[in-house]
Amino acid sequence: MPMKPIFVEFGKKQTSDLVNHQIFVAQATDKHALDSVSRQEFVAVSRASTTTQMLDSVSHQKFVAQAPTAVSARTLRFDESRIALRAVNRDMIPADVPHPSTPPLDVPHIAEQTGNLFSVPSQLGQKWYLPSFSLIDDPDLAFGFAASQTAEIEQATGNPFNKCRFTMTIKKIIPSDAIAWSAENPKGNLREVPLQNLMGDIVIQMVNQQGISESFACSATLTPNDDGTYLFAVDNIFGIRVISLYQGLIAGSSVRCRVSASYQAWGRIPQSHISSNMAMLGTIPIPYSISLDINRKYEADLYRLKYTIASISTPHVIINAEDLRNFNAHQTEFVEFRTLGDVSARYPSISKLYLGVVSRTILVIPSRYVILRESDSCAAVCNALVDSSPGLNAGCKFQFSFTLIPDVSSIDLLLLINEINDQSELELHNLTFHLPRSFKLESESELVTPFLTSFHFVNEATDLHGVTLSTEIREQVGGTPAVANANMFIAQLRITHEPFLTGMLGIRLDDAFPIPIEVPVLLNFTNTQTNGSAGMALRVDEANQKAILENGSSFDLFVTRIALLTPQNVSVVPVGEVIPAKGIFAMDLPADHKELGLLCDCELQIADNLTKTDLFKFVQFQTVDVQNVQYLFSVNATKVNFVTMGIDRIDILITLLNAQDVAITPMVLHKDRPFDSTKILLPLEQAMTELSSMLIAKLNFLDSTKPPVQLTLQNDFSQHPIFLLDDLNEVC
């Protein structure tokens, strides 16, 4: 309970012969300035003891006295537990003011404050502390930025008039110096100073029309929650301040909140409340204030759906500040979803996520696009046709077509959806997830290979999330024959390790999304993907308590992992086994296998050296209207030093190992013509499969007495249309 004021009056070092006790001397201090005539403060200090009674209760207390020159105090008298004032002008003391007493223990003393701590002189093991405040840890479920637009137009800006309700949660904390004292004094008594009249405001920094930075404070209410936190709510944010607050929260700058209050403490009452010739000590209210920087806390995607705006229609999520400036601004609804951090670290088949804040969708961006694999084939076709372009004789062209789909693991996708649905924020529940369905097919697409005449992506795939890649290889006048380039392109498809044949595909989010989303394309058969089970199935063998994986496809499959699904659980199981075509793999049946389902991550089992014959198990080769093609056989001896080695000429004879009856014109190489080639007419299928050949190179020397040297070499001209003849040092 607050103490009533104490009035003390002192004379000018006068003594009274009526007093038989210790004389107290008032000593001046510089702690307070007084408005009295003398403008001096005195602290009564007990210097001695008496034989009758000791001044135990007040020996350490400081009393501030105001001594007007017009009044002379006659006596100071000690009377057991209090100081009795006797003066000539007794009518100066109000009748209802009690005599001075010891400062109370139930409030802190202003004179004993250090930082956030207050000492209690009579109790060394006790401290008072002023509490502090901070923002709560994520997630702040009470956060909200609810703007609304009216039909009114703000005259200063010409923009729609906004108003906003802003809410967040703060918590009371023990300051660091109090925590440190408590740790150093484990048996000490640390007491919180009660705060009264708790209120707050939010301070918004903005630039006015003159380009001058200004701060505006909007008052807030603080409502205590059951868990000891406080709801910090601001309802009076209007006009341009709504946009400034939004931009400050998103940019993580120029926004802070303040908490203010008061607390009761023992100290000197301001002189304006008492007569000018008196000093007063008592329990008085002390102001309290603390400022908290919000920084980038509410920029996170965790809170994206909490920024809303409403006009006439249902509130929708704010995309950016243009929503607050213009009713009819056309802009994208997509923002990158970063609530889960780097999703690719946990789900390698997924690159990024984008949140459609209006449609409430999560767009899953794959790490890459690959060739579609079905149970009995892959979506890869090669069509060979006659090239009727002018100036070409017996020419042909090749059209390769691939259906590409997102290489997203069905297990990764399921685990991702479950993780988002498990988030505590209700705004993240019941979202729709889907893979890209629209593409930027011209400006953002590329394919890295020198063997194609042209290529383009077409959004005509039968798969909802797929895209068709169409390529063409044509005869070029004076250039490499189309069949040779086709073979080189096929050789790229046969690669089973890095570097693969790659490209880039542009993803379209919507017309207004400003940044192109590019996703890699891999063209090989080591990395493929299905749009369903693709022949893999699960059978439960109750008798033997086994779960049987059945490969019903036409391909041997390497199974990396599976997910066993029940209505209550998802269990991911590593496998790492090859299941042959039409084969099975048995594993232990889990105890909970009611309504057991299966998801499977697997790839084609391919040998490190993929032959052309094996490749055509995956690529459907079709001849349309062409039977024979001209094929160019070339030998390059430019690295042979004819002069130094004394070589006059090199005679080259080529024989096809699988078509020895096909005559190939011999070639002659010499120092003035180290490169030679010849064309032959071959059946198309033969030209596209294998052209393994034996080369006999006969070296004739300038020295006629030196006998010729004959070399027998081998080359597959379907893979290497130009044979390099360079290492002849050991021969010569």
Q: What is the pLDDT of residues 415-430, one digit of tens each?
A: 999 998 888 766 677 7
The secondary structure element, H or E, covering residue 701 is strand 692-701
User: What pLDDT does residue 59 have?
Assistant: 36
Mean per-residue pLDDT, 282-305: 87
* Secondary-structure percent of the chain, ordered helix, strand, coil, rounded to 5: 10, 45, 45
Is pLDDT at 72 greater than 60 in this prediction?
no
> What does 290-337 look like in DSSP terms, one character per residue?
EEEE-TTGGGSGGGGGGEEEESSS--EE--STHHHH-TT-----EEE-
CA dist list (Å): 231 to 171, 204, 235, 250 = 9, 19, 13, 21
Q: 101: closest CA among 285, 283, 286?
A: 283
The token duo for 468 is 């068709």
Do 63 and 165 belong together in one domain? no
Share the mean pLDDT of the chain.
Answer: 79
Per the structure, the complete domain to which residue 139 belongs is given by: 111-269+281-306
User: What pLDDT does residue 609 have?
Assistant: 84
Q: Contact, 268 vs 279, CB < 8 A?
A: yes
User: What pLDDT does residue 307 have?
Assistant: 87
Q: Contact, 496 vs 610, CB < 8 A?
A: yes
CA dist list (Å): 245 to 326, 398, 524 = 17, 61, 51
Mean per-residue pLDDT, 23-45: 33
Q: Which residues contact 71 (CB under 8 A, 6 or more apart)?
A: 9, 87, 88, 89, 92, 277
Does the CA dihedral 79-83-87-93 come out positive or negative? negative
Per-residue pLDDT band for 229 (boundaries 50, 70, 90) equals: very high
Is pLDDT at 233 greater than 50 in this prediction?
yes
In percent, the amount of the chain with pLDDT more than 70 equals 77
Query: Is 274 part of any domain?
Result: no
Do 408 and 496 belong together in one domain? yes
Final residue belonging to a domain, choices 526, 545, 567: 526
> What does 201-242 look like in DSSP terms, one character per residue?
EEEEEEE-TTS-EEEEEEEEEEEE-TTSEEEEEEEEEETHHH
More confident residue, 398 or 313: 398
Other beta carbons within 10 Å of 611? 12
User: What pLDDT does residue 729 have?
Assistant: 63
User: What pLDDT does residue 48 have?
Assistant: 34
Q: Which residues of 652-678 are buried (b: 16+ CB within 10 A; e: fewer)?
A: bebebeeeeeeebeebebeeeebebee
Do 251 and 373 belong together in one domain? no
Is pLDDT at 22 greater than 60 in this prediction?
no
Do 200 and 124 belong together in one domain? yes
Mean per-residue pLDDT, 265-282: 66
Mean per-residue pLDDT, 556-577: 92
The rounded distance, in Å, linking the Cα atoms of 397 and 623 is 11
Other beta carbons within 10 Å of 695? 19
User: What pLDDT does residue 660 have?
Assistant: 84
Strand 350-356 relative to strand 361-366, pairing? antiparallel
Tally of CA atoms within 13 A in the half-sphere of 441 that contains its CB: 14
Q: 538: closest CA among 510, 497, 571?
A: 571
Do 252 and 346 belong together in one domain? no
More confident residue, 620 or 278: 620
Query: Is 659 part of any domain?
Result: yes
Do 649 and 550 belong together in one domain? no
Per-residue pLDDT band for 151 (boundaries 50, 70, 90) equals: low
Query: Is 315 part of any domain?
Result: no
Q: What is the pLDDT of residues 164-202, one digit of tens each?
A: 999 999 999 999 999 999 999 999 999 999 999 999 999
403-417, 510-524, 584-598 — most confident range: 403-417
Query: Is 317 part of any domain?
Result: no
User: What pLDDT does residue 625 have?
Assistant: 64
Per-residue pLDDT band for 86 (boundaries 50, 70, 90) equals: very low
User: What pLDDT does residue 38 have?
Assistant: 34
User: What pLDDT does residue 443 have?
Assistant: 63
User: What pLDDT does residue 66 have?
Assistant: 38
Do 513 and 373 belong together in one domain? yes
User: What pLDDT does residue 100 have?
Assistant: 44
Q: What is the pLDDT of residues 327-347, one digit of tens each?
A: 555 567 788 888 888 999 999
Q: Token match 């003011």: residue?
A: 97
Q: 523: closest CA among 729, 382, 654?
A: 382
Which CATH number goes with the domain that contains 652?
Answer: 2.60.40
Other beta carbons within 10 Å of 294? 20
Is pLDDT at 88 greater than 60 in this prediction?
no
Tally of CA atoms within 13 A in the half-sphere of 683 that contains its CB: 7
The secondary structure element, H or E, covering residue 38 is none
Q: Which residues contact 233 (CB under 8 A, 6 or more apart)?
A: 165, 166, 167, 220, 221, 222, 223
Q: What is the pLDDT of residues 624-653, one digit of tens each?
A: 766 677 788 999 999 999 998 999 999 999
Do 129 and 255 belong together in one domain? yes
Do 141 and 19 belong together in one domain? no
Q: What is the pLDDT of residues 320-332, one digit of tens each?
A: 777 776 655 556 7
User: What pLDDT does residue 211 have?
Assistant: 64
Per-residue pLDDT band for 117 (boundaries 50, 70, 90) equals: very high
Q: Which residues contact 404 (CB under 8 A, 6 or more apart)?
A: 369, 370, 371, 372, 461, 466, 467, 468, 469, 505, 521
The rounded distance, in Å, linking the Cα atoms of 188 and 197 is 29
Query: Is 517 part of any domain?
Result: yes
Mean per-residue pLDDT, 259-270: 88
Do 498 and 361 belong together in one domain? yes
Mean pLDDT lowest among 172-186, 308-322, 563-577:
308-322
* Counted domains in the chain: 5
Query: Is 348 part of any domain?
Result: yes
Q: What is the pLDDT of residues 671-718, one digit of tens each?
A: 999 999 998 888 777 777 778 899 999 999 999 899 999 999 999 888
Final residue belonging to a domain, choices 69, 102, 135: 102
Is pLDDT at 103 greater than 50 in this prediction?
yes
Q: Token match 């017996």: residue?
A: 394
User: What pLDDT does residue 152 have?
Assistant: 61
Query: Is 329 part of any domain?
Result: no
Mean per-residue pLDDT, 266-272: 73
Do 189 and 62 belong together in one domain? no
Per-residue pLDDT band for 515 (boundaries 50, 70, 90) equals: confident
Tally of CA atoms within 13 A in the half-sphere of 239 that contains its CB: 11
Q: 302: closest CA among 404, 424, 153, 471?
A: 424
Do 407 and 262 belong together in one domain? no
The token duo for 477 is 């006048």
Query: Is 405 part of any domain?
Result: yes
Max alpha carbon distance in the chain (Å)? Answer: 153
Residue 163, amino acid: K
